[in-house]
Amino acid sequence: MPELPEVETIRLGLESKIKGLKITDVQVLEPKIFYGDCIQLIGQTVENFWRRGKVLGINLSNNLSLMVHLKMSGQLIWVGKEKVLGGHPTKDINSKMPVKSTRVIFTFSDRSKLYFNDQRKFGWIKVVENSKLKVDIFLQKLGPEPLTDEFTIEAFRQNLLKHSKSSIKSAILDQTVVAGVGNIYASEALFLAKIHPEEMVKNLTDQEISNLHHSMIQSLQTGIKKGGSSKTHYVNAAGERGYFLEVAYVYDRENQPCKNCQAPILKIIVGGRGSYFCPNCQSKD
């Protein structure tokens, strides 16, 4: 599910809600997905938030960080308490939580709660010492952050070289090439750059690589602006859906007219993943 824009949307939302609060309780309902000792979290203050690719990081006051990966169906939903004038906050604003897929529940000093839901149990939460983040096996492998200066056209081209024999769609889904692009934004970026998803990396011209570099950044930024993509599971920290798919050019639009040329959008499988494209705008030579 969540790709970079969805995780970034959650990061921004959570930051505004739980920064500065103290963790008073952690309930791990599905031990398989929780790595580390949840007791270490009790009593710690939530300090700041970061994101690397599709991973959300939360720094705590005792030099520990929580790393969260939502994989396909993960959600992080914060539920506050209704403020009663002159009294204590008691009632949940959103009483739907927890749900069947709730795997971990964090409780904070103001009695608000953060629910980690994940229907498919692919996602995970890890407790890591801050000093060990730089050698974390998952973070270490990630390529450049696409919305920072480190993601240059030249860095992109160099990383693509290692995948010259694969399709460009598979290559940009590889998190070592660029961090945070997933199936939705890969399809969208290829459309904007007018590149067929099955095009071999080695056949791309410098101009195409440059165009794709630009269109990946553009798609991700639009994704953030629209609050992410909600096909089935994704909601932000407040439990609200995102609207990127309403402006998407190709993703999940099989047989619908191309917004550029009216030709029907096609769906094919590339590298085992469903891929949407316009056969007219994205012709293979």
Two structure tokens written together for 270: 């590339």
Residue 170 as a binder of DNA (CB under 7 A): the answer is yes
282 part of the interface to DNA, by CB under 7 A: no
Give φ, ψ of 170 to 5 degrees. -60, -40
Question: What is the C-alpha end-to-end distance of the chain, expressed in Å?
Answer: 32
Query: With binding defined as CB under 7 A, does residue 165 bind DNA?
Result: yes
**Which CB, 146 or 242, lies closer to DNA?**
242
**Does residue 202 have an active-site annotation?**
no
Q: Report how many residues bind DNA under the rule CB under 7 A.
A: 43
- Tell me whether residue 207 is exposed, middle or buried, using C-beta atoms within 10 angstroms of its C-beta: 0 to 12, 13 to 18, 19 or more: exposed
Does 2 qualify as catalytic in the annotation?
Answer: yes
Are 57 and 95 contacting, i.e. CB atoms less than 8 angstroms apart? no
Q: Is 54 a catalytic residue?
A: yes
Site for DNA in 249-268 (CB under 7 A): none
- Pick one of 91, 135, 148, 272: the residue that binds DNA (CB under 7 A): 272
Q: Is 159 in the site for DNA (CB under 7 A)?
A: no
Considering only residues 83-122, where is the footprint of DNA by CB under 7 A?
Answer: 100-101, 119-122
Q: How far apart are CA 31 and CA 203, in angstroms?
A: 46
For residue 200, how far is the Cα from the chain centroid? 26
Q: What is the dihedral of CA 69, 224, 227, 9, to 10 degrees?
A: 40
Candidates 16-24, 80-88, 182-190, 257-265; binding stretch for DNA (CB under 7 A): 182-190
Nearest-10 Cα torsion for 220, 51, 37, 235: -40
Q: Which residue, 216, 194, 169, is CA-closest to 260?
A: 194
In the complex, least distance from residue 277 CB atom to DNA, rounded to whole angstroms: 13
Nearest distance from C-beta of residue 157 to DNA, angstroms? 16
Among 56-64, 69-77, 107-115, 146-154, which window interacts with DNA (CB under 7 A)?
69-77
Contact status: 69 vs DNA (CB under 7 A): yes
Give the residue among 174, 177, 171 at the shortest CA–CA distance from 155.
Answer: 177
Distances in Å between the Cα of 167 and the Cα atoms of 170, 192, 219 are 5, 17, 20
Q: How far is the CB of 89 from DNA (least distance, A)?
A: 31
CB 2 within 8 A of CB 76: no
Q: Note if 8 is an active site residue.
A: no
Q: Please pick, from the candidates 24, 102, 107, 175, the single residue that binds DNA as defined by CB under 7 A.
A: 175
Q: Which residues contact DNA (rule: CB under 7 A)?
A: 1-3, 6, 32, 53-54, 69, 71-73, 100-101, 119-122, 138, 141, 162-167, 170, 173, 175, 182-184, 228-234, 242, 271-274
